[in-house]
């Protein structure tokens, strides 16, 4: 005798585009029901003109949160402000949202936005307050053609379950393996694929011009057409780029903070740098600590609710790499503080033992951003398995670029007794900067020249190399090349060490420009 399992409700939604007339009633009802302010939407209707005159027609797509089974926004949220209910609805709690925008970067469907009035993350939540009162969502009630249907996927008698199990339905971006519970019946592929329709000339849409600028994702495909049909985007809603220049700069300052201490540890372990050297005693902890403080300041500045930052530590959601990164940085800060105190107290052996924790934490500080970016499942260019070692190479480059001028200046004032040691230290830093620079350039060359696995990553690379961010990218590449070439010539004895040290600012600026191009280009591809 078997025991019948209790029925577990899993809400799902079907958009029947054989019925949708593109009237935008759902958008209006949603705004009214949920008090959604102007300039943002929980749901909207996208229009694509398909075909060539006179055989042309307008296709619609109702765009909103997909209520994923494996919701990336829930995984990425550091405070559980985005959470999944037992009935499958992905809901949000504004009272604990810190406004980090990790959920926006993670969502493959561009369904989440920051409310301009309360500065918290928001999206379609299935009108959960109405569901709890046994009412249908506002968009379902107002739709004049019954194109929007909701029901229990696990109830075989529900109309939604029958459509899903019987009819041909589609979901958006199935390759992301989020298992969306928003199903489209009769939708044209040119509307489901955000890159299938070409971008209108001059940004002119059916009713207006779309918002454009550095902070917005421009809709449509600028240079490719992935659809078998001629498709022109005629109406869409602008979406904001989640992470701006502050996140780009944070990756640079964090690389310096981890690289300076890491390179100093390497010199000490190789026996090149004496533990009584001023670089080891003071420069490494102070410079690393200073740039780590700047990193923390940039992260706080980027939050919409910086006063709630403590929630990362007091109610952490441990699957989020934003949480893991915060604890890694906290641990690394403690190591640098103890190193500084040891320098004041003269505890030389303690500083050597401190490297046991300091080296792993500095490496983790350098590379954890790769895992944070990888949680942004929407951003295909960031799903790069070589990003962790690339960030470690960048930390080596930045650390040696900071320490090299300091070492050269120190060697000029060294006594004759220590001059030979200073020259060895300088030569090693010249080699480290040159090798790190060329490995960095080689990894970039591999990323931009190889065949890209998806259209989204290909378009992101195109935006970085040939599109909106080409000036930052190519300037950064040229400066990085010079920042590696001059130290190489100095290490070989062709140029003086001073010329090699003079290239350090070029390497630093080149890396900063590349980081900005890389971070912003990864977010520039339309997702909806």
- 125 and 254, same domain (yes or no): no
- Domain-located, residue 1: no
Q: What's the structural domain count of the chain?
A: 2
- 249 and 212, same domain (yes or no): no
Q: Is a pLDDT exceeding 90 seen at residue 330?
A: yes
- 431 and 502, same domain (yes or no): yes
Q: Output the CA torsion sign for 73, 92, 192, 105.
A: negative
- 294 and 236, same domain (yes or no): no
- Mean pLDDT for 37-65 is 91
At 212 the pLDDT is 73
Q: Name the pairing type of β-strands 216-217 and 121-122.
A: unpaired
At 417 the pLDDT is 47
Q: Is a pLDDT exceeding 80 seen at residue 395?
A: yes
- 251 and 141, same domain (yes or no): no
- 231 and 257, same domain (yes or no): no
- Mean pLDDT for 224-238 is 79
- pLDDT tens figures, 467-518: 999 999 999 999 999 999 999 999 998 988 888 888 999 999 999 999 999 9
Instruction: Tell which of 181, 210, 240 closes a domain.
Output: 240
**pLDDT band at residue 408 using 50, 70 and 90 as cut-offs:** confident
At 422 the pLDDT is 65
- 174 and 189, same domain (yes or no): yes
Task: Give the domain range for residue 187.
Answer: 11-240
Instruction: Tell which of 205, 225, 240 closes a domain.
Output: 240
Instruction: Tell which of 240, 264, 282 closes a domain.
Output: 240
- Domain-located, residue 2: no
**pLDDT band at residue 318 using 50, 70 and 90 as cut-offs:** very high
- 373 and 267, same domain (yes or no): yes
Q: Is a pLDDT exceeding 90 seen at residue 249?
A: yes
- Domain-located, residue 4: no
- Domain-located, residue 216: yes
* Ramachandran assignment for 71, one of left (phi > 0), alpha (psi -120 to 50 degrees), beta (any other): beta
At 2 the pLDDT is 44
CA–CA gap between residue 42 and residue 73 (Å, rounded): 15
- 64 and 197, same domain (yes or no): yes
**pLDDT band at residue 78 using 50, 70 and 90 as cut-offs:** very high
- pLDDT tens figures, 297-309: 999 999 999 999 9
Answer whether 16's CB lies under 8 Å from 143's CB: no
CB neighbour class for 263 (10 Å; exposed up to 12, middle 13-18, buried from 19): buried
Read off the CATH number of the domain in which 76 is found. Answer: 3.30.70.20
Q: Which of 216-225, 251-260, 264-273, 480-489 has the lowest mean pLDDT?
A: 216-225
Neighbours of 206 (CB within 10 A): 12
- Domain-located, residue 152: yes
Read off the CATH number of the domain in which 309 is found. Answer: 1.20.1630.10
- 454 and 490, same domain (yes or no): yes
Q: Is a pLDDT exceeding 90 seen at residue 420?
A: no
- 77 and 211, same domain (yes or no): yes
At 415 the pLDDT is 47
Neighbours of 301 (CB within 10 A): 11
At 6 the pLDDT is 58
- 345 and 198, same domain (yes or no): no
- Domain-located, residue 527: no
CA–CA gap between residue 445 and residue 428 (Å, rounded): 26
- Domain-located, residue 294: yes
């Amino acid at each position: 005798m078997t025991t019948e399992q209790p029925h577990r409700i899993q809400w799902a939604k079907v958009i029947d585009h054989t019925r949708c007339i593109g009237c935008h009633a759902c958008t209006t009802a949603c705004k009214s029901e949920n008090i959604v302010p102007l300039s943002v939407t929980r749901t909207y209707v996208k229009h694509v003109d398909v075909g060539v005159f006179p055989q042309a027609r307008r296709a619609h797509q109702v765009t909103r949160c997909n209520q994923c089974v494996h919701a990336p926004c829930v995984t990425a949220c550091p405070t559980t402000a985005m959470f999944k209910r037992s009935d499958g609805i992905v809901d949000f709690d504004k009272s604990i949202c810190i406004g980090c925008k990790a959920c926006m970067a993670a969502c493959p469907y561009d369904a989440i936005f920051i409310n301009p009035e309360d500065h918290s993350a928001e999206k379609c939540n299935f009108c959960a307050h109405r569901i709890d009162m046994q009412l249908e969502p506002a968009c379902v009630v107002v739709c004049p053609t019954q194109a929007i249907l909701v029901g229990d996927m696990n109830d075989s008698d529900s109309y939604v379950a029958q459509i899903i199990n019987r009819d041909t339905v589609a979901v958006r971006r199935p390759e992301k393996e989020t298992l969306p519970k928003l199903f489209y019946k009769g939708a044209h592929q040119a509307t489901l694929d955000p890159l299938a329709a070409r971008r209108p000339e001059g940004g002119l849409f059916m009713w207006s011009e779309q918002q454009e600028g550095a902070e917005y994702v421009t809709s449509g495909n600028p240079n490719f057409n992935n659809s078998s049909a001629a498709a022109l985007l005629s109406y869409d809603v602008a979406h904001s780029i989640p992470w701006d220049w502050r996140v780009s700069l944070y990756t640079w300052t964090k690389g310096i903070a981890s690289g300076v201490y890491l390179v100093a540890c390497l010199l000490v372990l190789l026996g090149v740098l004496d533990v009584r050297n001023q670089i080891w005693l003071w420069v490494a902890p102070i410079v690393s600590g200073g740039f780590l403080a700047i990193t923390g300041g940039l992260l706080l500045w980027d939050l919409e609710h910086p006063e709630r930052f403590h929630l990362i530590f007091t109610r952490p959601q441990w699957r989020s790499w934003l949480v893991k990164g915060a604890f890694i940085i906290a641990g690394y800060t403690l190591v640098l503080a103890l190193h500084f105190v040891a320098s004041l107290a003269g505890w030389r052996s303690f500083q050597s033992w401190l490297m046991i924790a300091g080296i792993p934490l500095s490496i983790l500080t350098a590379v954890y951003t790769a895992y944070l970016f990888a949680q942004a499942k929407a951003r295909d260019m960031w799903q790069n398995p070589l990003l962790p070692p690339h960030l470690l190479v960048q930390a080596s480059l930045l650390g040696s670029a900071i320490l090299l001028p300091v070492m050269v200046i120190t060697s000029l004032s060294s006594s004759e007794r220590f001059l030979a040691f200073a020259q060895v230290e300088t030569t090693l830093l010249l080699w480290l900067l040159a090798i790190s620079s060329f490995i960095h350039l080689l990894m970039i060359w591999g990323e931009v020249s190889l065949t890209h696995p998806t259209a989204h990553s290909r378009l992101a690379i195109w935006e970085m190399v040939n599109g909106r961010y080409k000036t930052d990218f190519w300037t950064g590449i040229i400066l990085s090349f010079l920042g590696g070439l001059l130290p190489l010539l100095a290490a070989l004895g062709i140029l003086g060490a001073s010329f090699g040290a003079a290239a350090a600012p070029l390497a630093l600026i080149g890396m900063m420009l590349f980081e900005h191009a890389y971070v912003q280009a990864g977010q520039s591809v339309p997702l909806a």
